[in-house]
């Protein structure tokens, strides 16, 4: 009689029922151990991969990057986030997140530093920004924590700002980076999303100056992304072809955080 392991090399038609059961059992166990081994080995391998600068391990970051590439491709520059009538906007917008806003700060001395590609730095005051055409956006602001609310924001379109200050070389770069004056909070935005027609350098909420805890004098409002990207209290703006550091991406969140 064929022994245990030899059965697997014998054609089914040459085996009796009992031998056939043995053969199938041997094959099943073989695959079970091979696959379990591969799964455990794969997990161990994943755990031992070096972390990337942004915190996620390399293979995981590769998967996230692939996802991002796909979704970035889906984000059309002409696709507009839904807008609402003024009456739909909440009267008191929720305040969320105060990273980079705890350092003592004198709004009267505020300037936004815009570092150009050639290294020159523009120093802009709120009056400079307010001279540009004003745009309002009323949309459903979404936080990754799970809440959303319809809010009404006013300011200058990021794209209008870029054009008004002749930042063409900068616009040709892949990313814009924003940070608070104390550099505690910072975001990186892909240029197509920054140039999206609903992205604002925002100085008004419900037609009033921004409250200090919501980013006075100037914040970003970027409706095509989750709230984490709408940095409050802009201190510095930079441009780069490499991804500028991003506070939440460093902690493992999706770099683009698109909606
Ligand atoms: N400087 C700064 N900007 C920030 C944050 C923060 O912690 N610090 N939190 C972000 C998050 S997670 C959200 S949801 C929105 C909230 O904006 P709001 O306080 O006006 O509701 O701001 C974003 N901008
Ligand atoms: Mo958020």
Per-residue pLDDT tens digits of the chain, which is 259 residues long: 556 667 778 877 787 777 777 777 777 766 667 777 777 676 777 767 766 656 667 777 777 777 666 665 555 456 899 999 999 999 999 999 999 999 999 999 999 999 999 999 999 999 999 999 999 999 999 999 999 999 999 999 999 999 999 999 999 999 999 999 999 999 999 999 999 999 999 999 999 999 999 999 999 999 999 999 999 999 999 999 999 999 999 999 999 999 9
Q: Name the closest-CA residue to atom 2, ligand 1.
A: 232
Where in the sequence is the domain holding 110, given as residue range(s)?
Answer: 83-251
Alpha carbon of 98 to ligand 2 centroid (Å): 11
Q: Are residues 43 and 102 in the same domain?
A: no
170 inside domain = yes
Q: Are residues 169 and 102 in the same domain?
A: yes
Q: Are residues 124 and 235 in the same domain?
A: yes
Phi-psi region of 185 (alpha: psi -120 to 50; beta: other; left: phi over 0): beta
Nearest ligand, measured from the Cα of 141: 1
Tell whether ligand 1 has an atom less than 6 A from the beta carbon of residue 227: yes
Tell whether ligand 1 has an atom less than 6 A from the beta carbon of residue 101: yes
Alpha carbon of 85 to ligand 2 centroid (Å): 23
Alpha carbon of 230 to ligand 2 centroid (Å): 9
And the tokens for 87? Answer: 């009456």
Tell whether ligand 1 has an atom less than 6 A from the beta carbon of residue 178: no
Residues forming beta bridges with residue 123, ordered by sequence position: 113
Give the phi and the psi of residue 144 in degrees, each rounded to 5: -65, -15
Number of domains in the chain: 2
Alpha carbon of 178 to ligand 1 centroid (Å): 13
256 inside domain = no
Residue 234 has a CB neighbour count (10 Å cut-off) of 24
63 inside domain = no
Q: What gap in Å lies between CA 145 and CA 217, rounded to an integer?
A: 25
Q: What gap in Å lies between CA 56 and CA 28, rounded to an integer?
A: 36
Supply the pLDDT for residue 4: 66
Tell whether ligand 1 has an atom less than 6 A from the beta carbon of residue 185: yes
Nearest ligand, measured from the Cα of 145: 2
Q: Are residues 127 and 239 in the same domain?
A: yes
For residue 232, what is the domain's CATH number?
3.90.420.10
Q: Are residues 7 and 115 in the same domain?
A: no
Supply the pLDDT for residue 182: 98
Tell whether ligand 1 has an atom less than 6 A from the beta carbon of residue 212: no
Q: Are residues 32 and 152 in the same domain?
A: no
36 inside domain = yes
Supply the pLDDT for residue 10: 80
Alpha carbon of 147 to ligand 2 centroid (Å): 8
And the tokens for 83? Answer: 């807008």
ω into residue 217 within 30 of 0, thus cis?
yes
């Amino acid at each position: 009689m064929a022994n245990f392991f030899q059965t697997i090399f014998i054609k089914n038609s040459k085996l009796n029922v009992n031998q056939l059961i043995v053969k199938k059992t041997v094959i099943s166990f073989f695959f079970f151990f091979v696959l379990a081994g591969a799964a455990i080995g794969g997990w161990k391998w994943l755990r031992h991969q070096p972390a990337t600068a942004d915190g996620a391990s390399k293979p995981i970051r590769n998967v996230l990057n692939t996802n991002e590439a796909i979704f970035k491709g889906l984000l059309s520059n002409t696709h507009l986030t839904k807008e609402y009538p003024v009456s739909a906007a909440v009267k008191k917008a929720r305040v969320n997140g105060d990273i980079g806003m705890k350092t003592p700060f004198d709004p009267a001395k505020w300037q936004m530093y815009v570092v150009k590609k050639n290294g020159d730095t523009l120093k802009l005051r709120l009056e400079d920004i307010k001279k540009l055409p004003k745009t309002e956006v009323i949309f459903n602001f979404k936080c990754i924590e799970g809440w959303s609310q319809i809010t009404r924001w006013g300011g200058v379109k990021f794209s209008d700002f870029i054009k008004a200050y002749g930042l063409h070389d900068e616009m040709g770069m892949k990313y814009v980076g924003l940070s608070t004056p104390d550099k505690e909070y910072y975001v990186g935005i892909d240029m197509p999303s920054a140039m999206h027609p609903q992205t604002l350098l925002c100085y008004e909420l419900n037609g009033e100056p921004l409250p200090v805890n919501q980013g006075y004098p100037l914040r970003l409002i970027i409706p095509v992304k989750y709230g984490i990207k709408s940095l409050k209290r802009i201190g510095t703006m930079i441009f780069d072809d490499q991804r500028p550091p991003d506070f939440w991406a460093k902690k493992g969140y999706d770099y683009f955080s698109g909606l």
